[in-house]
Amino acid sequence: RQAAELTPFVTWGTNPGQGLPLGESVPDPASFTDPVERQAAELTPFVTWGTNPGQGLPLGESVPDPASFTDPVERQAAE
């Protein structure tokens, strides 16, 4: 089939099988089946030291030395 003959399709959720034709509404996105409760005192505060969320660490840890990165892109981002 030609691409122009295909129905536009979007996915939602984490399962690629949860697709819908474009224009339809997803089932109640606000319903949660597995709620998670945590005590704030159990969580470790984090801080980001760079320009992306992957450049974060718990308070009290040291920022890594840029020379420790083997990936040149990550090293440059750390510098």
User: How far apart, in whole angstroms, are the C-alpha atoms of residue 31 and residue 18?
Assistant: 15
12 located within any domain: no
User: How far apart, in whole angstroms, are the C-alpha atoms of residue 19 and residue 6?
Assistant: 14
The pLDDT, as a whole number, for residue 68 is: 94
Q: In total, how many domains does the chain have?
A: 1
- For 18-74, what is each residue's pLDDT tens digit? 777 777 776 666 666 777 788 988 888 988 888 888 888 998 899 899 999 999 998
User: Can you state the percent helix, strand and coil of the chain, rounding each to 5?
Assistant: 20, 15, 65
The pLDDT, as a whole number, for residue 26 is: 67
The pLDDT, as a whole number, for residue 32 is: 63
66 located within any domain: yes
56 located within any domain: yes
Question: Which residue, chain included where needed, has tokens 């949660």?
Answer: 32
Domain encompassing residue 71: 43-78
The pLDDT, as a whole number, for residue 65 is: 93
Q: Which residues of 15-50 are buried (b: 16+ CB within 10 A; e: fewer)?
A: eeeeeeeeeeeeeeeeeeeeeeeeeeeeeeeeeeee
2 located within any domain: no
pLDDT grade for 16, boundaries at 50, 70 and 90: low
